[in-house]
Structure 1
Amino acid sequence: MLNKFRLLLISFLLLIVSSVTAQVTKGELEIIKSELKTEKKDLVRKNMNLVSDEADIFWPIYNKYQNEKSVIMDQRIKILKKYADEYLIIKEDDAKKIALEQFKLSKKATALRQKYFKIISKKMSPVYAIRFLQIDRQIDLLVEMKIYENMPLMQYR
Protein backbone atom coordinates (compact mmCIF):
# COMPACT_ATOMS: atom_id res chain seq x y z
CA MET A 1 0.00 0.00 0.00
CA LEU A 2 2.79 2.43 0.85
CA ASN A 3 4.42 1.76 -2.54
CA LYS A 4 1.14 2.57 -4.28
CA PHE A 5 0.93 5.78 -2.26
CA ARG A 6 4.48 6.69 -3.25
CA LEU A 7 3.68 6.07 -6.90
CA LEU A 8 0.63 8.33 -6.70
CA LEU A 9 2.65 10.91 -4.82
CA ILE A 10 5.35 10.94 -7.49
CA SER A 11 2.69 11.19 -10.21
CA PHE A 12 1.12 14.11 -8.38
CA LEU A 13 4.44 15.91 -8.03
CA LEU A 14 5.35 15.30 -11.65
CA LEU A 15 1.97 16.70 -12.64
CA ILE A 16 2.66 19.85 -10.61
CA VAL A 17 6.06 20.31 -12.24
CA SER A 18 4.78 19.52 -15.73
CA SER A 19 1.89 21.93 -15.29
CA VAL A 20 4.45 24.71 -15.13
CA THR A 21 5.99 23.85 -18.48
CA ALA A 22 2.98 22.34 -20.24
CA GLN A 23 -0.75 22.80 -20.12
CA VAL A 24 -2.00 20.19 -17.69
CA THR A 25 -5.71 20.52 -17.20
CA LYS A 26 -7.13 21.39 -13.85
CA GLY A 27 -9.26 18.25 -14.19
CA GLU A 28 -6.16 16.04 -14.44
CA LEU A 29 -4.68 17.69 -11.36
CA GLU A 30 -7.94 17.18 -9.44
CA ILE A 31 -8.08 13.49 -10.39
CA ILE A 32 -4.56 12.88 -9.07
CA LYS A 33 -5.29 14.86 -5.90
CA SER A 34 -8.43 12.80 -5.34
CA GLU A 35 -6.53 9.53 -5.76
CA LEU A 36 -3.82 10.78 -3.42
CA LYS A 37 -6.43 11.62 -0.77
CA THR A 38 -7.97 8.15 -1.12
CA GLU A 39 -4.61 6.43 -0.71
CA LYS A 40 -3.76 8.62 2.25
CA LYS A 41 -7.07 7.80 3.90
CA ASP A 42 -6.37 4.09 3.41
CA LEU A 43 -2.97 4.50 5.09
CA VAL A 44 -4.56 6.35 7.99
CA ARG A 45 -7.29 3.69 8.28
CA LYS A 46 -4.77 0.86 8.40
CA ASN A 47 -2.55 2.58 10.95
CA MET A 48 -5.21 3.97 13.29
CA ASN A 49 -6.59 0.49 14.08
CA LEU A 50 -10.02 1.80 15.05
CA VAL A 51 -12.94 -0.36 16.11
CA SER A 52 -16.41 0.47 14.82
CA ASP A 53 -17.47 2.92 17.56
CA GLU A 54 -14.14 4.73 17.37
CA ALA A 55 -14.32 4.92 13.59
CA ASP A 56 -17.79 6.47 13.79
CA ILE A 57 -16.31 9.31 15.82
CA PHE A 58 -12.98 9.63 14.01
CA TRP A 59 -13.85 9.68 10.29
CA PRO A 60 -16.13 12.73 10.28
CA ILE A 61 -13.40 14.63 12.17
CA TYR A 62 -10.77 13.37 9.71
CA ASN A 63 -12.88 14.49 6.73
CA LYS A 64 -13.24 18.01 8.16
CA TYR A 65 -9.50 18.11 8.83
CA GLN A 66 -8.68 17.04 5.29
CA ASN A 67 -11.03 19.64 3.82
CA GLU A 68 -9.33 22.40 5.79
CA LYS A 69 -5.89 21.00 5.03
CA SER A 70 -6.60 20.83 1.28
CA VAL A 71 -6.95 24.64 1.23
CA ILE A 72 -3.43 24.93 2.64
CA MET A 73 -2.12 22.33 0.18
CA ASP A 74 -3.65 24.21 -2.76
CA GLN A 75 -1.87 27.35 -1.59
CA ARG A 76 1.41 25.42 -1.36
CA ILE A 77 0.95 24.11 -4.89
CA LYS A 78 0.40 27.68 -6.08
CA ILE A 79 3.66 28.76 -4.42
CA LEU A 80 5.53 25.79 -5.90
CA LYS A 81 4.28 26.68 -9.37
CA LYS A 82 5.37 30.29 -8.88
CA TYR A 83 8.78 29.13 -7.68
CA ALA A 84 9.18 26.72 -10.61
CA ASP A 85 8.32 29.53 -13.04
CA GLU A 86 10.73 32.04 -11.53
CA TYR A 87 13.61 30.33 -9.74
CA LEU A 88 16.12 31.17 -12.50
CA ILE A 89 15.18 34.83 -12.77
CA ILE A 90 13.60 35.68 -9.44
CA LYS A 91 13.77 39.18 -8.07
CA GLU A 92 14.64 39.82 -4.43
CA ASP A 93 11.15 41.09 -3.58
CA ASP A 94 9.55 38.00 -5.14
CA ALA A 95 11.92 35.69 -3.26
CA LYS A 96 10.98 37.42 -0.03
CA LYS A 97 7.25 37.07 -0.84
CA ILE A 98 7.65 33.35 -1.52
CA ALA A 99 9.48 32.86 1.78
CA LEU A 100 6.89 34.83 3.75
CA GLU A 101 4.05 32.88 2.11
CA GLN A 102 5.76 29.61 3.06
CA PHE A 103 6.13 30.78 6.66
CA LYS A 104 2.43 31.73 6.78
CA LEU A 105 1.38 28.37 5.42
CA SER A 106 3.58 26.53 7.91
CA LYS A 107 1.91 28.47 10.74
CA LYS A 108 -1.53 27.66 9.32
CA ALA A 109 -0.65 23.96 9.09
CA THR A 110 0.62 23.92 12.68
CA ALA A 111 -2.48 25.74 13.92
CA LEU A 112 -4.67 23.25 12.06
CA ARG A 113 -2.87 20.28 13.63
CA GLN A 114 -3.23 21.87 17.07
CA LYS A 115 -6.93 22.50 16.50
CA TYR A 116 -7.58 18.90 15.49
CA PHE A 117 -5.38 17.53 18.26
CA LYS A 118 -7.74 19.24 20.70
CA ILE A 119 -10.85 18.01 18.90
CA ILE A 120 -9.73 14.38 18.68
CA SER A 121 -8.40 14.47 22.25
CA LYS A 122 -11.75 15.70 23.53
CA LYS A 123 -13.96 13.38 21.48
CA MET A 124 -11.71 10.31 21.69
CA SER A 125 -8.45 10.64 23.62
CA PRO A 126 -5.03 12.33 23.37
CA VAL A 127 -3.55 8.93 22.46
CA TYR A 128 -5.70 8.71 19.32
CA ALA A 129 -5.01 12.35 18.56
CA ILE A 130 -1.24 12.01 18.71
CA ARG A 131 -1.33 8.73 16.79
CA PHE A 132 -3.28 10.40 13.99
CA LEU A 133 -0.97 13.41 13.95
CA GLN A 134 2.07 11.13 13.79
CA ILE A 135 0.65 9.29 10.78
CA ASP A 136 -0.43 12.50 9.08
CA ARG A 137 2.93 14.18 9.72
CA GLN A 138 4.87 11.18 8.39
CA ILE A 139 2.89 11.35 5.16
CA ASP A 140 3.43 15.12 4.96
CA LEU A 141 7.16 14.69 5.47
CA LEU A 142 7.27 12.11 2.69
CA VAL A 143 5.52 14.56 0.38
CA GLU A 144 7.85 17.41 1.37
CA MET A 145 10.92 15.21 0.96
CA LYS A 146 9.88 14.27 -2.57
CA ILE A 147 9.12 17.89 -3.45
CA TYR A 148 12.41 19.28 -2.17
CA GLU A 149 14.44 16.35 -3.47
CA ASN A 150 13.53 17.39 -7.02
CA MET A 151 13.43 21.15 -6.57
CA PRO A 152 16.38 23.15 -7.87
CA LEU A 153 17.94 25.70 -5.60
CA MET A 154 17.08 29.35 -6.06
CA GLN A 155 19.51 31.08 -8.43
CA TYR A 156 20.96 34.38 -7.36
CA ARG A 157 23.30 35.61 -10.05
Structure 2
Amino acid sequence: MKKLLLLVSFLFVGITNYAQTNEYIEMARAILEKDTKEAIAEIVELDDSQKEEFWLLVNEYEDFSYFVKDKRIAIIKEYAENYENLTDEKADELINQAFDFKMEDLKLKKKYYKKMKKIIPATEAAKFIQAVNKIDDLVNAELATEIPLIE
Protein backbone atom coordinates (compact mmCIF):
# COMPACT_ATOMS: atom_id res chain seq x y z
CA MET A 1 0.00 0.00 0.00
CA LYS A 2 2.95 2.34 0.64
CA LYS A 3 4.06 1.77 -2.95
CA LEU A 4 0.59 2.82 -4.13
CA LEU A 5 0.73 6.00 -2.06
CA LEU A 6 4.00 7.00 -3.73
CA LEU A 7 2.62 6.08 -7.13
CA VAL A 8 -0.53 8.12 -6.66
CA SER A 9 1.55 11.09 -5.56
CA PHE A 10 3.73 10.94 -8.63
CA LEU A 11 0.83 10.38 -11.02
CA PHE A 12 -1.13 13.40 -9.91
CA VAL A 13 1.68 15.89 -9.37
CA GLY A 14 1.05 18.85 -11.61
CA ILE A 15 -2.69 18.38 -11.99
CA THR A 16 -3.12 22.05 -11.09
CA ASN A 17 -1.65 22.86 -14.47
CA TYR A 18 -4.61 21.02 -16.01
CA ALA A 19 -2.42 20.40 -19.02
CA GLN A 20 -2.42 16.62 -18.70
CA THR A 21 -2.97 14.99 -22.06
CA ASN A 22 -5.28 12.05 -22.60
CA GLU A 23 -2.18 9.90 -23.16
CA TYR A 24 -0.86 10.93 -19.74
CA ILE A 25 -4.18 10.07 -18.11
CA GLU A 26 -4.27 6.68 -19.84
CA MET A 27 -0.68 5.92 -18.83
CA ALA A 28 -1.44 6.87 -15.22
CA ARG A 29 -4.52 4.66 -15.24
CA ALA A 30 -2.62 1.67 -16.60
CA ILE A 31 0.06 1.97 -13.93
CA LEU A 32 -2.51 2.47 -11.17
CA GLU A 33 -4.58 -0.51 -12.40
CA LYS A 34 -1.53 -2.79 -12.43
CA ASP A 35 -0.43 -1.76 -8.95
CA THR A 36 -4.01 -1.95 -7.67
CA LYS A 37 -4.24 -5.56 -8.80
CA GLU A 38 -0.91 -6.36 -7.13
CA ALA A 39 -2.15 -4.81 -3.87
CA ILE A 40 -5.44 -6.73 -4.06
CA ALA A 41 -3.58 -9.99 -4.71
CA GLU A 42 -1.57 -9.41 -1.52
CA ILE A 43 -4.64 -8.58 0.58
CA VAL A 44 -7.40 -10.93 -0.54
CA GLU A 45 -6.85 -14.55 0.48
CA LEU A 46 -8.25 -17.01 -2.03
CA ASP A 47 -7.96 -20.72 -2.60
CA ASP A 48 -7.22 -21.99 -6.10
CA SER A 49 -10.87 -22.75 -6.84
CA GLN A 50 -11.85 -19.10 -6.20
CA LYS A 51 -9.07 -17.29 -8.04
CA GLU A 52 -10.26 -17.52 -11.62
CA GLU A 53 -13.81 -16.34 -10.97
CA PHE A 54 -12.61 -13.65 -8.55
CA TRP A 55 -10.17 -12.15 -11.05
CA LEU A 56 -12.80 -12.25 -13.78
CA LEU A 57 -15.04 -10.19 -11.49
CA VAL A 58 -12.20 -7.82 -10.64
CA ASN A 59 -11.53 -7.26 -14.34
CA GLU A 60 -15.23 -6.72 -14.98
CA TYR A 61 -15.38 -4.26 -12.08
CA GLU A 62 -12.33 -2.42 -13.43
CA ASP A 63 -13.94 -2.12 -16.86
CA PHE A 64 -17.08 -0.52 -15.44
CA SER A 65 -15.09 1.56 -12.96
CA TYR A 66 -13.04 2.94 -15.84
CA PHE A 67 -16.17 4.49 -17.38
CA VAL A 68 -17.42 5.82 -14.05
CA LYS A 69 -14.03 7.41 -13.36
CA ASP A 70 -14.11 8.96 -16.85
CA LYS A 71 -16.98 11.08 -15.59
CA ARG A 72 -14.82 12.36 -12.75
CA ILE A 73 -12.02 13.25 -15.14
CA ALA A 74 -14.52 15.11 -17.32
CA ILE A 75 -15.78 17.05 -14.27
CA ILE A 76 -12.22 18.03 -13.31
CA LYS A 77 -11.45 19.13 -16.87
CA GLU A 78 -14.66 21.14 -17.05
CA TYR A 79 -13.88 22.76 -13.70
CA ALA A 80 -10.42 23.67 -14.97
CA GLU A 81 -11.85 25.17 -18.15
CA ASN A 82 -14.29 27.31 -16.16
CA TYR A 83 -12.14 28.03 -13.10
CA GLU A 84 -11.25 31.62 -13.97
CA ASN A 85 -14.85 32.65 -14.70
CA LEU A 86 -16.94 30.18 -12.72
CA THR A 87 -20.58 31.22 -12.52
CA ASP A 88 -23.10 30.13 -9.89
CA GLU A 89 -24.88 28.08 -12.54
CA LYS A 90 -21.71 26.27 -13.64
CA ALA A 91 -20.65 25.65 -10.03
CA ASP A 92 -24.08 24.16 -9.31
CA GLU A 93 -23.89 21.99 -12.43
CA LEU A 94 -20.40 20.72 -11.58
CA ILE A 95 -21.17 19.91 -7.95
CA ASN A 96 -24.29 18.01 -8.98
CA GLN A 97 -22.22 16.06 -11.51
CA ALA A 98 -19.77 15.28 -8.70
CA PHE A 99 -22.63 14.01 -6.51
CA ASP A 100 -23.83 11.82 -9.39
CA PHE A 101 -20.31 10.44 -9.87
CA LYS A 102 -20.06 9.54 -6.17
CA MET A 103 -23.42 7.78 -6.21
CA GLU A 104 -22.59 5.83 -9.37
CA ASP A 105 -19.20 4.82 -7.94
CA LEU A 106 -20.84 3.61 -4.71
CA LYS A 107 -23.52 1.66 -6.62
CA LEU A 108 -20.81 -0.08 -8.63
CA LYS A 109 -18.89 -1.06 -5.49
CA LYS A 110 -22.05 -2.38 -3.82
CA LYS A 111 -22.95 -4.38 -6.94
CA TYR A 112 -19.53 -6.05 -7.11
CA TYR A 113 -19.38 -6.67 -3.37
CA LYS A 114 -22.63 -8.63 -3.71
CA LYS A 115 -21.30 -10.55 -6.71
CA MET A 116 -18.06 -11.38 -4.93
CA LYS A 117 -19.83 -12.65 -1.82
CA LYS A 118 -21.33 -15.36 -4.01
CA ILE A 119 -17.91 -16.78 -4.86
CA ILE A 120 -15.70 -15.86 -1.88
CA PRO A 121 -16.30 -15.27 1.84
CA ALA A 122 -17.74 -11.89 2.81
CA THR A 123 -14.56 -11.05 4.72
CA GLU A 124 -12.50 -11.45 1.55
CA ALA A 125 -15.02 -9.50 -0.55
CA ALA A 126 -14.89 -6.77 2.11
CA LYS A 127 -11.09 -6.73 1.87
CA PHE A 128 -11.42 -6.11 -1.87
CA ILE A 129 -13.77 -3.16 -1.26
CA GLN A 130 -11.48 -1.84 1.49
CA ALA A 131 -8.49 -2.00 -0.85
CA VAL A 132 -10.37 -0.21 -3.62
CA ASN A 133 -11.59 2.42 -1.15
CA LYS A 134 -8.08 2.99 0.23
CA ILE A 135 -6.73 3.50 -3.27
CA ASP A 136 -9.61 5.88 -4.04
CA ASP A 137 -8.82 7.72 -0.80
CA LEU A 138 -5.19 8.12 -1.86
CA VAL A 139 -6.28 9.54 -5.20
CA ASN A 140 -8.81 11.81 -3.47
CA ALA A 141 -6.20 13.11 -1.05
CA GLU A 142 -3.82 13.93 -3.87
CA LEU A 143 -6.55 15.61 -5.90
CA ALA A 144 -7.60 17.61 -2.84
CA THR A 145 -4.11 19.05 -2.53
CA GLU A 146 -3.77 19.80 -6.23
CA ILE A 147 -7.17 21.19 -7.27
CA PRO A 148 -7.76 24.71 -6.01
CA LEU A 149 -10.95 25.75 -4.25
CA ILE A 150 -13.31 28.11 -6.02
CA GLU A 151 -12.18 31.69 -5.60
2:123 aligned with 1:95: no
Given candidates 29, 34, 44, the residue that maps to 2:30 is: 34
Q: If the length of structure 2 is used for normalisation, what is the TM-score?
A: 0.90
Aligned mate of 1:46, from 38, 42, 65: 42
Work out the number of aligned pairs and report it.
151
1:85: Cα distance to partner? 2.6
Match for 1:125 among 100, 115, 121? Answer: 121
Instruction: Tell me the alpha carbon deviations over residues 10-60 of structure 1, each in whole angstroms, 9 at most, x when there is no partner.
Output: 233236444x2x4x4422321221111101111111111323222122100
Query: RMSD of the TM alignment (CA)?
Result: 1.7
SS of 2:46's partner is coil
- Structure 1 position 106 matched with structure 2 position 102: yes
Q: Which moved more, 1:9-18 or 1:85-94?
A: 9-18
Contact 2:7 2:32 in 1 (8 A): yes
TM-score, normalised on structure 1?
Answer: 0.87
Q: Which residue of 2 aligns with 1:136?
A: 132
| Counterparts of 1:81 and 1:107, CA distance in 2 | 20
> 1:129: how far off?
1.6
The Cα shift of 1:67 comes to 0.6
Q: Does 1:66 align with 2:62?
A: yes
Preserved CA contact (<8 Å) 2:116 2:125: yes
Q: Distance in 2 between matches of 1:46 and 1:60?
A: 17
The answer (yes or no) to whether the contact 2:72–2:101 under 8 Å persists in 1 is yes
Bigger RCO of structures 1 and 2 (CA < 8 A, at least 6 apart): 2
Percent identity among equivalent residues?
25
More off after superposition, 118-127 vs 3-12: 3-12
Q: Secondary structure at the match of 1:94?
A: helix
What is the rounded CA distance, in whole Å, between the counterparts of 2:124 and 2:60 in structure 1?
16
Residues 69 and 112 in structure 1, CA contact (< 8 A), matched pair in contact too:
yes
